[in-house]
Amino acid sequence: METVLSIHGLTKDFGKLRAVNQLNLTVQRGQVFGMLGPNGSGKTTTLGMLMGVVNPSAGQYSWFGQPPTPQLRKKIGAVLEHPIFYPYLSGQKNLELMAMIKEAPTENISKVLDIVELSARKNDKYKTYSLGMKQRLAIASALLNDPIVLILDEPTNGLDPMGIAEIRDIIKKIAAADKTIILASHLLDEVQKVCSHFSVLRQGQLMHTGPVDEVGKGEELVEVVAFHDDLGILLQEFNGSATVKREQNHFVVMMKDGYHSNDLNRFLFDKGIVASHLLTKKKTLEKQFLEILADNTKSKV
Amino acid sequence: MLQLLKIDLKKMTSYRTFWIICGLYFFLLVVGAASGMELLKWLASIIQGFGQAININRIPLYHFPDVWQNLTWAGGLIKIALAIMTVISITNEYTYRTIRQNIIDGMSRKEFLLSKVMMNVVLSLMSMVALFFIATITGLIYSLELDFPYGFTGIGFFPAYFLEVFAFLSFALMLGIFLQRSGLTIIILLSASVIELIIKAKVDNYFPEIIPYFPLESISNLVPMPFARYAFQEIRDVVTLSSILIATTWTLLFNYFSYLKLEKSDL
């Protein structure tokens, strides 16, 4: 696999504050790479360094195995934090200007405006756009020069559910076109839905990095509902139960290693109980994320 | 280089404020420069004895070769209006954070600065050309006799005027890059010569010989005030090499400081 981005010991100090601390990361071609972390964890600062607007205090990074140059940035589409455009220029003119800077063919402008469905409003001034339209124009601008890598920082920030779904569709469409995407977000659900790999940052430090698929591995959680008065006690007796919790109208059993929901089902059946609801739940990224953060807090103390 | 200029032109030509300020500036430059005689008549009408003591029609304000220095000096008075445009142009980039996006999109910081410097060159050149036309036309109208090449004496004030405007715009650009806020920058820009005046007054008591090396002094020193000659006083009516050298050095320094600041800052 081709390495798109590799970061070694990247560090940024703002006065006394260490915003990014000794960061090491690699992103491979074709990955949709999610960067997770609470607000202020150093995601945007890291992306700022990768795009040449923030000078690193220490460490290096390379795109495609080469040291970074402005020329290389022209082939990367990036939107950091919020959309940035000249408010007094129309969407069309803003993109024309950007095409001049990026040395992109001008016929791409109408193409990307179509992708984000902004063609109808392209001659209106940017300052008249709604937040969703601004975000969409930002994505259009990132796509302008047929980028090989796309960097999106909180692309759904402040959007309504419909806007979020629209942006997510656009990202999926782009990812399907064999582009590498780096997506910074604090919305875990969003990352789980679109990303193939993810990393977790906290206070400028890398806490975890790995594929999203692995998130579900490990202990299984099983939701159980059955018409039996002592179901809770019975579930405790089952050899495979690590913990049993009652949640609203069902029980949640965390299975020990090696036990699965079918074992639990057989156990109940042997006791003469038929479950009316038996659901194996994968661990969500949210849970994993909170665990990663919690583990590291403990180890720090 | 040309591409960088085109980028800044693209930013500016759809910006209404740019047209208003530049329109006002060039209007003032052309009309102001051409109405010197009207000004004299007006002065004569309000100041008693002004018209009797000197016959205003005999002041060769627009005669070749006086017209060159007279108009380049007068034109230098309103360069502040153009400098305000430069300040707005650079501080907008900080307010809208578009400077950040320009770099993200693949400009180097140096290219970004060059695009602004190129724009300053163009504005200064346009000022010089506009003033040259007015001077030539008024000179042809008012001069009693055309005596060339004597009439071209002092035409060197035009390149000096260009340097004066460009140096001042470079100063304004540097202030904008350091202060980043338009209001603050404009206030500092307006008060800079007053501040320098106070310092100069102090310095004058001890080391009067270093006064020509002050930045704003060196800029206005390129084209010295000519009108004292009509009161039979000696004036400097040539461009001196030392004034060019000092002002050029400052201009290079202003732009170099801008470059250093841009390279070092996180955007």
User: Per-domain residue ranges for chain A?
Assistant: 3-213, 219-282
Give residue A271's pLDDT: 83
Q: How far apart are CA A163 and CA A165, in angstroms?
A: 5
Residues of A in contact with B264 (CB under 8 A): 55
Is the predicted pLDDT of residue B11 greater than 70, yes or no?
A: yes
d(C-alpha B255, C-alpha A49), whole Å: 25
Smallest CA–CA distance, residue A250 to chain B, in Å, is 51
Amino acid at B174: M
pLDDT at B239 over 50: yes
What is the band of A189 on the pLDDT scale with cuts at 50, 70, 90?
confident
With a CB cutoff of 8 Å and minimum separation 6, the contacts of A23 are: A7, A9, A10, A11, A42, A46, A59, A201, A204, A205, A206
Give B258's pLDDT tier (boundaries 50, 70, 90): very high
- Cβ-based contacts of A88 with chain B (< 8 Å): 14-16
B104 contacts on A by Cβ (under 8 Å): 51-53, 73, 78, 80
Give me the helices (H) in chain B, please.
Answer: 2-13, 16-34, 36-46, 50-53, 66-77, 79-95, 98-104, 109-142, 157-179, 182-206, 215-220, 241-264
Burial B108-147 (b: 16+ CB within 10 A, else e): bbebbbbbbbbbbbebbebbbebbbebbeebbeebbeeee
Among A14, A49, A55, A97, the residue to mutate for chain B (most B Cβ within 10 A) = A97
The model's pLDDT over B153-185, given as tens digits with 9 standing for 90+, comes to: 888 999 999 999 999 999 999 999 999 999 999
A-B Cβ pairs (cutoff 8 Å, strict): 69
Residue B57: per-residue pLDDT: 72
A99, closest residue in chain B (CA to CA): B105
- Contact in structure between A91 and A137 (CB atoms under 8 Å): yes
CATH number 3.30.70.100 is the correct assignment for the domain at A219-282: yes
Contact A53 B96 (CB under 8 A): no
Find the chain A residues whose C-beta atoms sit closer than 8 A to any C-beta of B. Answer: 48, 51-55, 70-74, 78, 80, 84-90, 93, 96-98, 100-103
Does residue B231 surpass a pLDDT of 80? no
- Number of neighbouring beta carbons within 10 Å of residue B249: 14
Rounded to 5 degrees, φ, ψ at A144 are -55, -40
CA atoms within 13 A on the CB side of A269: 7
CA-CA-CA-CA torsion for B252, B253, B259, B260, nearest 10 degrees? 150
Asked if residues B117 and B255 have their Cβ atoms less than 8 Å apart, the reply is yes
Q: Could you tell me the residue ranges of all domains in chain B? A: 2-264
For A74, the closest of B3, B6, B106 (CB atoms) is B106
For residues A27 and A5, what is the distance between their CA atoms, to the nearest angstrom?
5
- Whether residues B104 and A73 touch (CB distance < 8 A) is answered with yes
Assign domain A3-213 to its CATH superfamily. Answer: P-loop containing nucleotide triphosphate hydrolases (3.40.50.300)
Which SS3 state, helix, strand or coil, does residue A217 take? Answer: coil
